[in-house]
C-alpha cells in the first residue's frame, strides 16, 4: 500500500549542522561560507562540508583530518538542543 | 570532457587458470566444452595447491577478469559472458578460496564491539594507523618521477573506476545506511558535474603526468597485491550476503584517506607538478574528511545498529580493507626502498 505523500518540503530546507565527536562540524544544506569576516561569501564545492574545530587544518575553515593527529577531544554537547518541540506530538 | 578510451588487447596470462580463462573469454562465442573443462580442472587444481591466494598472480588476475565482465568495458571478450553459468561457477570456486583466506588472515579487533555506537569507536581505533601513513610519508620524503609513475599505475586499476565497487552496495542497503552511502557516492561521482567525477579527475592526473588513462591500460604491469585490493572490493560489492563488508570496506577506505592524500599531493608538488596533477589529491583531503564522518557513523554505525547481525561483517570489511591495502602498500615500499621496480616485467610482445 502506498502511503500518502507528505507535503513537499519547503524550498528553504533548513541547514543542518552536526557536531561530530572529536571531529569536525558537518554542515548539510544550501550554505555560503565567508572565508573571514567581511569577505565575499562563497558556495562550497560539495553538498556536505566538514568545518574544522581543532584549528590544525591546513585547509581551514574545512577539515582535513588533522584532528586525529592532534588527538583532539570534544566535550559532549551540554546544551540541550534536542528538547522536544511543543508541536512534535503528532501521532496522526 | 573526453570519455576515457577503451583497452582492446587481452592481458597476458599469468598461469594455467588465466591461460584457460583467457582462451574461453577470447575464443569462439560458442565455447567448446573442452575449453570449459580445461578451465574447471585448472581452477580445481589451483585452489588446492596455491599457498597464498592474495599473492597468487594467476588467481588474482583470473578473479579480476571475471569481475571485469560485470564492470566492463572488456573489448577483448567475445560474446555475452556476464552471466555465463560456467564462468559464474568458476568464479564461486575462486571466491570461496579467496574469502576463506581473508577470514583466516585478516586480524579482527578484540574485544568485538557490541553495538553500532561501540562499532564507530572501534572503527576509529583500527583506522588510527592513518595517523602515521608509512607509504604516504615515505613518498612525500622521497618522491621521484619513476616512483610516482609506478604509484599512479598501481592506483589506476581501482581509481579509474573509483567508487564503482561500493555502488553495488546501494541497492542492498536500507534506511540511514543507504542514504549515507548515496551521499558519499554522489560526491564521488561529482555531485552531478561530470568534470568533478573523481575517476575523471584521476584520469586528468594520469594524463598530466604523461601516463595513458585508458581503463586497465597498465593491467599487465600490476602485481597480485594491487589486483587483490580491487578484487576484495568486487567480492564484497557483488554479494548481497557481504553487504556489511562492502559498507565497512568503504568506511575504512574513507577513514584512512585524508591524511595520506595530503602527503601524496605534497610529493607531486615537490617535483613541480601543478594543479592538473594534484587536484585529485587536494580534492580528497577535503572530500574524505567529510566522507570519513558519514561513513563511520551513518553508514557503518547505523548499519550495525539497524542490522545487528551484520556488525561482524562491517568490521571484517573494514579490517580486510586495511589488511589488503596494507599488503599493496608494503609491496611498493619494500621494492622502492630497495631500489627495485614494484611493477611486473612484461614480454616485449605485450609492450604498452
Q: Chain A to chain B, count of Cβ pairs less than 8 Å apart?
A: 60
**CA distance linking residue A51 with residue A65, whole number of Å:** 10
A62 and B196: CB-CB below 8 Å? no
- At residue B246, the pLDDT reads 98
Which residues in chain B have their CB less than 8 angstroms from residue A48's CB? Answer: 183, 187, 290, 294
**CA distance linking residue B42 with residue B234, whole number of Å:** 22
Which residues in chain A have their CB less than 8 angstroms from residue B293's CB? Answer: 20, 23-24, 26, 50
Residues 6+ apart with CB under 8 A from B232: B98, B102, B249, B320, B321, B324
Residues 6+ apart with CB under 8 A from B227: B60, B61, B63, B64, B157
Does B130 touch chain A if contact means CB atoms closer than 8 Å?
A: yes
CATH topology of domain B116-350: Heme Oxygenase; Chain A (1.20.910)
The residue of chain A with its CA nearest to that of B293 is: A20
- At residue A78, the pLDDT reads 76
| Best mutation target, B124, B255, B286, B296, to test chain A (most A CBs within 10 A) | B286
Domain-wise residue ranges, chain A: 16-31+44-75
Does B339 touch chain A if contact means CB atoms closer than 8 Å?
A: no
**CA distance linking residue B114 with residue B118, whole number of Å:** 6
Of B118, B264, B139, B286, residue with least CA distance to A66: B286
Q: What does residue B330 show for φ and ψ, rounded to 5 degrees?
A: -60, -40
Q: Determine the 3-state secondary structure of B134 from DSSP.
A: helix
- At residue A91, the pLDDT reads 43
Angle at A54 between CA A51 and CA A55, to 5 degrees: 85
The residue of chain B with its CA nearest to that of A20 is: B293
B294 and A47: CB-CB below 8 Å? no
**CA distance linking residue B59 with residue B55, whole number of Å:** 9
Q: How far from chain centre, in Å, is Cα B309?
A: 26
Distance from CA of B284 to the nearest CA of A (A): 9
The residue of chain B with its CA nearest to that of A50 is: B290
Q: What does residue A26 show for φ and ψ, rounded to 5 degrees?
A: -90, 130
Does position A1 have pLDDT exceeding 70, yes or no?
no
Choose the closest CB to B289 out of A47, A62, A69: A62
DSSP state of B35: H
Query: Could you report the per-residue pLDDT of A63-76, keeping only the tens digit for each?
Result: 999 999 988 999 88
B294 and A45: CB-CB below 8 Å? no
Half-sphere exposure of B258 (CA within 13 A, CB side): 26
**B positions 281-320 inside 8 Å of A (CB):** 285-290, 292-294, 297
**CA distance linking residue B278 with residue B60, whole number of Å:** 30
Which residues in chain A have their CB less than 8 angstroms from residue B131's CB? Answer: 68-69
Interface pTM, i.e. ipTM? 0.88
Residues 6+ apart with CB under 8 A from B188: B162, B163, B197, B198, B287
Which residues in chain A have their CB less than 8 angstroms from residue B125's CB? Answer: none
Does B183 touch chain A if contact means CB atoms closer than 8 Å?
A: yes
DSSP state of B242: G
Choose the closest CB to B187 out of A20, A46, A65: A46
- At residue A83, the pLDDT reads 67
Q: Determine the 3-state secondary structure of B133 from DSSP.
A: coil
Does B195 touch chain A if contact means CB atoms closer than 8 Å?
A: no
**CA distance linking residue B36 with residue B124, whole number of Å:** 46
**B positions 103-122 inside 8 Å of A (CB):** none
- What CATH number was assigned to the domain covering residues A16-31+44-75? 3.40.5.90
DSSP assignment of B44-70 equals HHHHHH-S-GGG-HHHHHHHHHHHHHH
**CA distance linking residue A65 with residue B64, whole number of Å:** 32
What mean pLDDT value characterizes chain A? 82
Does B262 touch chain A if contact means CB atoms closer than 8 Å?
A: yes
A50 and B262: CB-CB below 8 Å? no
Q: Where in chain B is the domain with CATH 1.20.910.10?
A: 116-350
Q: Parallel, antiparallel, or unpaired: how do β-strands A25-28 and A48-51 relate?
A: antiparallel
Does position A10 have pLDDT exceeding 80, yes or no?
no
Does B41 touch chain A if contact means CB atoms closer than 8 Å?
A: no
Q: What does residue B114 show for φ and ψ, rounded to 5 degrees?
A: -105, -20
Does position A2 have pLDDT exceeding 50, yes or no?
no
Residue pLDDT tens, chain B, 352 long: 455 577 889 999 999 999 999 999 999 999 999 999 999 999 999 999 999 999 999 999 999 999 999 999 999 999 999 999 999 999 999 999 999 999 999 999 999 999 999 999 999 999 987 666 789 999 999 999 999 999 999 999 999 999 999 999 999 999 999 999 999 999 999 999 999 999 999 999 999 999 999 999 999 999 999 999 999 999 999 999 999 999 999 999 999 999 999 999 999 999 999 999 999 999 999 999 999 999 999 999 999 999 999 999 999 999 999 999 999 999 999 999 999 999 999 865 554 4
Of B68, B62, B61, residue with least CA distance to B82: B68
Does A62 touch chain B if contact means CB atoms closer than 8 Å?
A: yes
B293 and A68: CB-CB below 8 Å? no
Count of beta carbons in the 10 Å neighbourhood of residue B164: 18
B293 and A50: CB-CB below 8 Å? yes
**CA distance linking residue B138 with residue B336, whole number of Å:** 10
B259 and A69: CB-CB below 8 Å? yes
Query: Could you report the per-residue pLDDT of A12-45, keeping only the tens digit for each?
Result: 689 999 999 999 999 999 999 998 999 999 999 8
Q: What is the dihedral of CA B145, B147, B148, B149, to 10 degrees?
A: 80
Amino acid at each position: 500500500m502506498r502511503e500518502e505523500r507528505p507535503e513537499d518540503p519547503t524550498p528553504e530546507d533548513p541547514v543542518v549542522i552536526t557536531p561530530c565527536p572529536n571531529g569536525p562540524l558537518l554542515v548539510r544544506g544550501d550554505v555560503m561560507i565567508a572565508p573571514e569576516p567581511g569577505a565575499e561569501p562563497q558556495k562550497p564545492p560539495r553538498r556536505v562540508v566538514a568545518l574544522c574545530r581543532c584549528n590544525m587544518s591546513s585547509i581551514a575553515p574545512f577539515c582535513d583530518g588533522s584532528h586525529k593527529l592532534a588527538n583532539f577531544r570534544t566535550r559532549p554537547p551540554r546544551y540541550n538542543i534536542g528538547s522536544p518541540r511543543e508541536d512534535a506530538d503528532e501521532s496522526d | 570532457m573526453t570519455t576515457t578510451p577503451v583497452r582492446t588487447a587481452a592481458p597476458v596470462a599469468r598461469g594455467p587458470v588465466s591461460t584457460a580463462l583467457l582462451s574461453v573469454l577470447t575464443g569462439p562465442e560458442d565455447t567448446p566444452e573442452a575449453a570449459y573443462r580445461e578451465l574447471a580442472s585448472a581452477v580445481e587444481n589451483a585452489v588446492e595447491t596455491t599457498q597464498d591466494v592474495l599473492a597468487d598472480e594467476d588467481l588474482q588476475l583470473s578473479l579480476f577478469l571475471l569481475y571485469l565482465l560485470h564492470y566492463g568495458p572488456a573489448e577483448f571478450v567475445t560474446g555475452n559472458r556476464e552471466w555465463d553459468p560456467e564462468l559464474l561457477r568458476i568464479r564461486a570456486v575462486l571466491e570461496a578460496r579467496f574469502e576463506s583466506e581473508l577470514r583466516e588472515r585478516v586480524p579482527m579487533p578484540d574485544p568485538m564491539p557490541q553495538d553500532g555506537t561501540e562499532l564507530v569507536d572501534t572503527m576509529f581505533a583500527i583506522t588510527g594507523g592513518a595517523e602515521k601513513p608509512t607509504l604516504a610519508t615515505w613518498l612525500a620524503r622521497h618522491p621521484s618521477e619513476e616512483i610516482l609513475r609506478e604509484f599512479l599505475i598501481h592506483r589506476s586499476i581501482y581509481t579509474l573506476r573509483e567508487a564503482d565497487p561500493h555502488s553495488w552496495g546501494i541497492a542492498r542497503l536500507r534506511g540511514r545506511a543507504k542514504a549515507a552511502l548515496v551521499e558519499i557516492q554522489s560526491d564521488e561521482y561529482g555531485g552531478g558535474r561530470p568534470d568533478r567525477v573523481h575517476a575523471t579527475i584521476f584520469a586528468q592526473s594520469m594524463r598530466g603526468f604523461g601516463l595513458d588513462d585508458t581503463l586497465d591500460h597498465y593491467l599487465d604491469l600490476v602485481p597480485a597485491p594491487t589486483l587483490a585490493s580491487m578484487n576484495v572490493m568486487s567480492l564484497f560489492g557483488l554479494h548481497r550476503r557481504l553487504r556489511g563488508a562492502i559498507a565497512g570496506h568503504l568506511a575504512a577506505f574513507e577513514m584512512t584517506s585524508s591524511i595520506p592524500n595530503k602527503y601524496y599531493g605534497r610529493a607531486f608538488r615537490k617535483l613541480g607538478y601543478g594543479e592538473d596533477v594534484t587536484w585529485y589529491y587536494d580534492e580528497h583531503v577535503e572530500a574524505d574528511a567529510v566522507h570519513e564522518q558519514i561513513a563511520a557513523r551513518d553508514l557503518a554505525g547505523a548499519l550495525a545498529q539497524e542490522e545487528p547481525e551484520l556488525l561482524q561483517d562491517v568490521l571484517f570489511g573494514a579490517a580486510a580493507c586495511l589488511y589488503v591495502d596494507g599488503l599493496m602498500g608494503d609491496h611498493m615500499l619494500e621494492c622502492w626502498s630497495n631500489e627495485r621496480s614494484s611493477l611486473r616485467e612484461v614480454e616485449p610482445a605485450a609492450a604498452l
